[in-house]
Structure 1
Amino acid sequence: MRLDEVDAFATSLPGVRRKGHPGRVAWYVDDRLVVREDLPGTLLVRVPMAEREDLLACHPDTVGVPPRWEAHHKLQADLAGDADAIRDAIRRAWAMQRRGDR
């Protein structure tokens, strides 16, 4: 998946706005982070813990959790991985942030 594809998908979700700058672009809903560019070729995606575990089990070649994020509602998605898995993670992040769940 390319960042322009992430942008097209994320901004297709109601209320999502692109912010940030080149090299650190991010997408927010209701001023809450949904997804942002992380290390080159990766995304940081905010997802509920229970759903994060589901995504990790279903898509271990696409998503993971660096040790520094283990206690947070975050996962790292590899842009070279399964685009459907990345879209699923972004959709779940959008739903969580839109509801205001933390």
Structure 2
Amino acid sequence: MDLDEVGRHAESLPDVQRKGTEARPGWVIRDRLVARLHDPQTLAIRVLLDEREALLDSHPDIFGVLPRMEAHHKVEAYLDQADPAAVCAAIDLAWESQRR
């Protein structure tokens, strides 16, 4: 999956806007994080902890969590290994939790 695909999907969701820089874009809804590019191949996605665990269990090769991020409601998606459907589903979870 590439960044253009991420952007097209995120921006197709109601009220999601692209913010950030060209090198480190992010997508937000009402200034609440949905996803942000961490580095060229790593996308941080805001998901609730129980949803994060389900993503990690079902797609351990696509998603991960750095030890310093374990307490945060985020998961990393490794775009160079990603199944687009799984990443889009995670972005949808983030959008759903942040639009409330």
Question: Which category describes the TM-score, using the shorter chain as reference length?
Answer: over 0.9
TM-score (norm 2): 0.96
Partner amino acid, structure 2, of 1:45 = I
- Off by >4 Å, runs of 4+ in structure 1: none
- Equivalent position of 1:45 in the other structure: 45
Unmatched 5+ stretches in structure 2:
none
**Cα shift at 1:23:** 1.2
Q: What's the TM-score once normalised by structure 1's chain length?
A: 0.94
CA RMSD of aligned residues (A): 0.7
Aligned 1:21-100 pairs, distance under 5 A: 21-80=21-80, 81-99=82-100
Unaligned segments of structure 1, at least 5 residues: none
- Once the two structures are TM-superposed, the CA of residue 30 in structure 1 deviates from its matched residue by 1.3
Identity %: 54
Count of equivalent residues: 99
Residues 28-51 of structure 1: per-residue CA shift (max 9 Å, x gap): 001100000012201000001110
**Distance across 1 between alignment mates of 2:87 and 2:94:** 11
